[in-house]
A and B are shown apart, each in its own frame.
Chain A
């Protein structure tokens, strides 16, 4: 004796109402599993945990510009805003959306929304903060990536496998820091000067700061740190005598949007 469709839907509906479907059933059968799958895996303390401290007391706009230029040069980051051919100029409504940024600046109320108030020091209010991917401990971009193109390395770097990116832009929706950019057009003609040590990207992939993983592999500091003249400190948080640890001990630092629980690892001295 078979079950007809009406019967099946009725039973499924009733059992859902009674709580045998969805999360209720999971809680009965595998208690705690649903929550556990949403949290970052606890792991043994890694040997390396890269982090950066941005000292805004030392970093003026000219230095920030130098850092950005250095970063964008060695990673072949395209500049759509000043094309070589005036025909390629973008209409104003998409300039922001098409913009590719690994390292960029924004004022306090954009960098630390909710922290600003009307009686802040003018200096801080108009300060342009140097922003980049925070290489979070609990990165939402990694969780939402459907192809695992974005992944978290054991040394804390949130890196991207461009070969695997399908351009769905879930990570851009997931990232609360706006650290990711999408290639709406073929970036190669817009790279100012091809830097031979790093590939360009293709149309339709997302890109972001990688903490210069390719330079770290050669024991070089990130390009921005090198260009900053000491305003940026980069190092291993898990090494007791590292410079970042010393800086973080010495100064009071803030981080962006800590309340979201992603545990960002770029620290700011204001």
Chain B
């Protein structure tokens, strides 16, 4: 009898054998229904609806001034759409950790075709895309992400554009 409650280490009793049946079934099911209702109610009104993608106005005075053939980002637009977050994180680490042992150095970003840019969100990106509210926030709000960049970094580009 005693052996039944010991495992191979000798300390832990196995779970006592009890009859397998559902106790308090009605409370459980009522509770489950209330739970599901609470989860579904806020989602139900949006069911089947599509939220239109944001209409962004990406033209800024700086971009308008550029000649047609120069109107391109430092990397192809599709690549930027997919990878800008990773690129910004890499820039951040490279710039902040410049000269750390074993760290990649640099405030410089070199594109595959050899053009050099200053790796800086507020200086390089916002130089052209000086409309942060349109360029960053619209999409980020649409996909419900909240990058923490602007807790510390200042929107200088936007301010400069407003001053103009």
Contact = CB atoms under 8 A, between A and B. Distances in A.
The answer to whether A and B assemble together is yes
A197 B157 CA distance: 11
A265 B148 CA distance: 35
B154 A161 contact: no
Interface stretch (A97-105, A148-156, A239-247): A148-156
Contacts of A42: none
A2 B97 contact: no
Per DSSP, chain A at the interface is loop
Interface string B105-138: 0010000000000000010000000000000000
A201 B152 CA distance: 5
Contacts of A152: 100
- Which of B11, B93, B151, B153 has the most C-beta atoms of chain A within 10 angstroms of its own C-beta? B151
Nearest to B160: A196
B8 interface: yes
A87 to B, nearest CB: 23
Residues of B in contact with A, size category: 20 to 34
Contact of B96 (A43, A155, A161): A161
Nearest to B107: A217
Per DSSP, chain B at the interface is loop
B152 A202 contact: yes
A43 B107 CA distance: 25
Interface in A187-214: 194, 196-197, 199-202, 213
Given A4-B10, A161-B93, A196-B122, 19 more contacts: A4-B11, A43-B101, A154-B99, A157-B99, A159-B96, A159-B100, A161-B97, A163-B92, A196-B156, A196-B159, A197-B156, A199-B152, A199-B153, A200-B152, A200-B154, A201-B152, A202-B151, A213-B98, A217-B107
30 contacts: A2-B10, A4-B9, A4-B10, A4-B11, A43-B101, A76-B154, A151-B100, A153-B99, A153-B101, A154-B99, A155-B99, A157-B99, A159-B97, A159-B100, A161-B93, A161-B96, A163-B92, A163-B96, A194-B154, A196-B154, A199-B152, A199-B154, A200-B152, A200-B154, A201-B152, A202-B148, A202-B151, A202-B152, A213-B98, A217-B98
Interface of A: 2, 4-5, 43, 76, 151-155, 157, 159, 161-163, 194, 196-197, 199-202, 213, 217
